[in-house]
A and B are shown apart, each in its own frame.
Chain A
Amino acid sequence: MSAESLTLNDGSAAARAEEMPLQVRSRSFTAVVLKVTGAADAGFFASLDSLMRQAPHFFVNAPLVLDLEQATDLQVKGDFVKLVRELRARRLSPIAIQNASADQGIAAFGAGLITLQGGRDVPTERRGRAAEAAPAASEPEPESEPAAASLLITEPVRSGQRIFADRGDLIVNASVSSGAELVAHGSIHIYGPMRGRALAGVNGDKSARIFCQSLEAELIAIAGLYLTSDDLGPTVRKKRVQAFLRDQTLCVEPLK
């Protein structure tokens, strides 16, 4: 049994705050993954209890995902119901399973667990501290380096190309063509004409910003809130601007 973390993504649609009575956002959360080996028997719960005594804060309030890759014994709904009840009794919050067979998926669904795909490991030690400070933190977490490294692009970004800065900022020191896409967990800086799309703070970082030397973008988005070229008026079009979030609104202002 081992504990690790993954990132959940709850949707990709975005809505603008002032127009809708509800808001749909894409946001990532960190969850703890519990690898279940063999059957969920007394031995399993004994090791779990011992682990929880060693790191009492590690699991508190964190969503729990069960990895069933090595748990072929778990097949029927009754087992999952029992497992969920035992985990909840330990103040753990199982929400989903992964690496499961189709039958396991159906059985677990009956016990109120959904099947997740994908996910990405982050260091458990850092995850532990994050759990202590703020449960279910939504900040982007650097994977290994202490400081988030930025990605520098010096060649023109052509139509159809997609540049993804999976940690920190994205800096483009060239033009970005219509039909190209820049995506970053942090801020995006463009020092050439910006004619494509720029999505900053895709992990939910509301402090992310977009800086343009000449804004001619098709779309800009920060933490799921977006504006299209139709929304960009003549005061900012083809100007040096920055885009940022202020009170749930995406603002674009000329740089002085």
Chain B
Amino acid sequence: MAKIIVVTSGKGGVGKTTSTAAIGAGLAMRGHKTVVIDFDVGLRNLDMIMGCERRVVFDFINVIQGDAKLKQALIKDRRLENLAILPTSQTRDKDALTREGVGKVLDELREDFDYIICDSPAGIERGAYLAMYYADEAVVVTNPEVSSVRDSDRVLGLLSSKTHLAEKGEGGVKSHLLLTRYDPKRVASGEMMKVEDILEILSIPLLGIIPESTAVLKASNVGTPVTFDTKSNAGKAYEDAVSRLDGEQIEMRIKPERPGLFQRLLRRTA
């Protein structure tokens, strides 16, 4: 049975799309048939992060409106045969999404894939609502700062009330916390919130802590999910998070100590 996972946050710029790409690639690397869907209609980015922007012909909206078949819109990843991308439209807006249309596409995808990862737009309006509506599980991406934590809390409230599972009375969507852009030095100096404080406020299980890393921006710019960068801290952290999402028990590896000069040089050239 395919599992639908929404990657959401409420707040913008916290790393939803990066995390979607990394989680999608990570699950595919573990042998699962995985598709990532971009719900950010009008602000299409997932295709770029996945490095397939030049291969987009038909998109999610074309499929919803019946102008194209799902098979025509799905783009197969060139690096991983288990991975596919369903890009969205850059010219339309969120009103083009309908609950029935999204449901139909997801049902069709359920037949072919093990994991369906929905990349939610920021905010709590239509796009974000429909991205989370059919989800079985949610990855709530949060930065260690107060506004991001409050927005995540708001989204958790919606996940437990405004989704298909909640409406069926099955207790809402199972949610995991993914802490991104975590900088141990700034946490130590009190500039960033501590993990325990965030967990106390949100009270959901922690899926992973992704350290602030130059590897993330670099990976985005060249269109490679950061999970492929197995040497970087961020890549490893995503790998661990994906393993936990897949049901493995792995210990957290937060490294509060400063990386050595040699390591830093290595990362810059890696």
> Residues of A with Cβ closer than 8 Å to B?
155-161, 174-175, 177-180, 193, 195
What are some 16 contacts across the A-B interface (CB < 8 A)? A155-B160, A157-B157, A158-B154, A158-B156, A158-B160, A159-B153, A160-B154, A160-B158, A161-B157, A177-B153, A177-B201, A178-B201, A179-B150, A179-B153, A179-B154, A193-B200
> Residues of B with Cβ closer than 8 Å to A?
150-151, 153-154, 156-158, 160-161, 200-201, 203
Distance between B177 CB and nearest chain A CB, rounded to angstroms:
13
Distance in angstroms between the alpha carbons of A180 and B203 in the assembled complex:
15
Task: Write out the residue numbers on chain B whose beta carbons fall within 8 Å of the beta carbon of A179.
Answer: 150, 153-154
Question: Closest chain B residue to A175 by CB distance?
Answer: B203
Task: Write out the residue numbers on chain B whose beta carbons fall within 8 Å of the beta carbon of A160.
Answer: 153-154, 157-158
The residue that A177 contacts in the complex, of B150, B158, B160, with Cβ under 8 A, is B150
Distance in angstroms between the alpha carbons of A208 and B151 in the assembled complex:
32
Question: Closest chain B residue to A161 by CB distance?
Answer: B157
Contact yes or no, B157 A159, CB < 8 A: yes
Task: Write out the residue numbers on chain A whose beta carbons fall within 8 Å of the beta carbon of B154.
Answer: 158-160, 179
If A157-B157, A159-B150 are given as contacts, then 7 extra A-B residue pairs at C-beta distance below 8 Å, sorted by A number, are A158-B153, A159-B151, A160-B153, A160-B158, A174-B203, A178-B201, A179-B154
Question: Closest chain A residue to B159 by CB distance?
Answer: A158
Distance between A193 CB and nearest chain B CB, rounded to angstroms:
7
Distance between A229 CB and nearest chain B CB, rounded to angstroms:
14
Give the one of A157, A161, A174 with max B CB within 10 A.
A161
Distance between B138 CB and nearest chain A CB, rounded to angstroms:
13
Task: Write out the residue numbers on chain B whose beta carbons fall within 8 Å of the beta carbon of A174.
Answer: 203
Task: Write out the residue numbers on chain A whose beta carbons fall within 8 Å of the beta carbon of B161.
Answer: 161
3 closest pairs, A vs B, by CB?
A158-B157, A159-B153, A160-B154
Task: Write out the residue numbers on chain A whose beta carbons fall within 8 Å of the beta carbon of B153.
Answer: 158-160, 177-179
Distance between A27 CB and nearest chain B CB, rounded to angstroms:
31
